[in-house]
Homo-oligomer: A and B are copies of this chain.
Amino acid sequence: MSQHRHPGAPGRAGAVPALPDLPEATVARLPEYLRALHNLADTGHETVSSEELSAAAGVNSAKLRKDLSHLGSYGTRGVGYDVTLLIEQIENVLGLTQRRAVALVGVGNLGHALAGYDGFAGRGFRIAALLDADPSRVGEEINGLVVRHVDDLATVAAEESLAIGVIATPAAAAQQVADQLVAVGVTSILNFAPCVLSVPEGVDVRKVDLAIELQILSFHEHRKASLTALPATGGSALTALPGGFAATDTQEAIGT
């Protein structure tokens, strides 16, 4: 997080949608709630209690209620939440009512996979352009889109309003691509390259690094191994679990 320290506009209950200024941790969980809600809607549920929804989203029910309370009071005591209404509200807050155009830069290994990922279209996004710096890749068609040269970014941006840029290039090229994205007015970037990006204030960057995730898991693996290596006193640290398959509570959502 961070880079969200826009100081101005303190309260300013705007005439438009209210802008509740949610805690960052809450924002990071809303998409997970949304996914769970869509599942429930598809299986015919009309209402859902905080207990059920929190289980489906893998969080604590009190946390869920507090998160939702930040959006306003959309639940009914004694009953629960109206699934359809809640979906609408969350999509509204997340700004998913408009289908945002995403520019994907770098159609290598990972870029190819992202270009073919159907989770974008299903969740309020549309890949508007595929770009690459390698001339031999320009012209290739992936999933109905033709790869264009990254220097054509300005042209692409002129054709339609790009909301988000995704960087799936090697680390060495990432900063330059970020600069180009910023230059054409992109203010949100999802960076898959293993490097830190410098961007002007007001531009949001989120980073996804597969190697980092594995290394974090490695730490816990290492730690667990060291623990079992010392049988110590009490015993039954990892073995002899009570019921098994306890509800895993958080599972983290990368962000934060």
Q: How many copies does the complex hold?
A: 2
Residues from chain B with a CB closer than 8 A to the CB of A117 are: 109-110, 210
Which of A163, A201, A217 gathers most chain B CB within 10 Å?
Answer: A217
CA gap between A212 and B211 in the complex, in Å: 19
What is the bound-complex CA distance between A170 and B58, given in angstroms?
18
A206 adjacent to B217 (CB under 8 Å): yes
CB < 8 Å neighbour of A119 from B22, B164, B194, B227: B194
Cβ A188 vs Cβ B220 within 8 A: yes
Residue among A17, A214, A221, A233 with the highest chain B CB neighbour number at 10 A: A214
Known: A210-B114, A238-B6. A95 touches B16 (CB 8 A): no
Inter-subunit contact A209/B253 (CB<8 Å): yes
Supposing A194-B35, A226-B17, A230-B12 touch, asked if A251 and B214 sit within 8 A by C-beta, the answer is no
**Which A residues, 146 to 204, have Cβ-Cβ distances below 8 Å to chain B?**
163-164, 187-191, 194-204
Q: Shortest beta-carbon distance, A157 to chain B, in Å? A: 15
A-B contact pairs, 5 of them (CB 8 A): A9-B232, A119-B210, A198-B248, A205-B248, A206-B254
The 7 closest A-B pairs by CB, nearest first: A254-B254, A95-B222, A256-B256, A113-B113, A58-B196, A2-B250, A31-B215
